[in-house]
Copies of this chain bind each other. A is one copy, B any other.
Amino acid sequence: MTTPQPLRIGMIGYAFMGAAHSHAWRTAPRFFDLPLEPQLTAVAGRNASGVQAAARKLGWASSETDWRRLIERDDIDLIDICTPGDTHAEIAIAALDAGKHVLCEKPLANSVSEAERMTEAADAAAKNGVFSMCGFTYRRTPALSLAKRMVEQGRLGSIRHVRAQYLQDWLSDENAPMTWRLDKSKSGSGSLGDIGAHSIDAAQWVTGRKISGVSALLETFVPERPLAGDLVGLGGHGDATGNAPRAAVTVDDAAIFTARFDSGTASAGANSSSPIGVFEATRYALGRKNAMRLEVNGTKGSLAFDFEDMNVLSFYDAAEGPDAGFRRIMVTEPEHPYVGSWWPTGHGLGYEHGFTHQVVDLVNAVAERRQPEPSFADALQVQRVLAAVEASAASASRWQEV
- Tell me whether A219 and B276 are in contact (CB under 8 A): yes
Flag whether A271 is at the interface (Cβ < 8 A).
yes
Q: Which of A265-287 contact B (CB under 8 A)?
A: 270-271, 273, 276, 278, 280, 282, 284-287
Q: Which of A249-304 contact B (CB under 8 A)?
A: 254, 256-258, 260, 270-271, 273, 276, 278, 280, 282, 284-291, 295, 297-302
This protein's copies in its complex: 4
- Chain A's interface: helix, strand, loop or mixed, by majority? mixed
Q: Tell me which residues across on chain B come within 8 A of A169, comparing CB atoms.
A: 297
Q: A23-B30, A217-B215, A327-B325 are in contact. Are A344 and B16 (CB under 8 A)?
A: yes
* 8 Å CB contact of A217 from B27, B276, B398: B276
A20 contacts the other chain (Cβ, under 8 Å)?
yes
Count residues on chain A whose CB falls below 8 Å from chain B CBs: 104
A323 part of interface (Cβ distance < 8 Å): yes
Residues of A within 8 A of B (CB): 1, 16, 19-20, 22-23, 26-27, 30-31, 53, 57-59, 146, 150, 160-161, 163, 165, 168-170, 172, 174, 215-217, 219, 221-222, 233-234, 236, 254, 256-258, 260, 270-271, 273, 276, 278, 280, 282, 284-291, 295, 297-302, 307-316, 318, 320-330, 332-336, 343-353, 392, 396-399
A170-B345, A172-B318, A290-B332 are known; give 5 further A-B pairs, CB within 8 A: A20-B343, A23-B27, A174-B299, A320-B327, A327-B328
Sort A-B residue pairs by CB-CB distance and give the 7 closest, nearest first: A289-B346, A290-B346, A287-B316, A350-B350, A215-B397, A325-B329, A347-B351
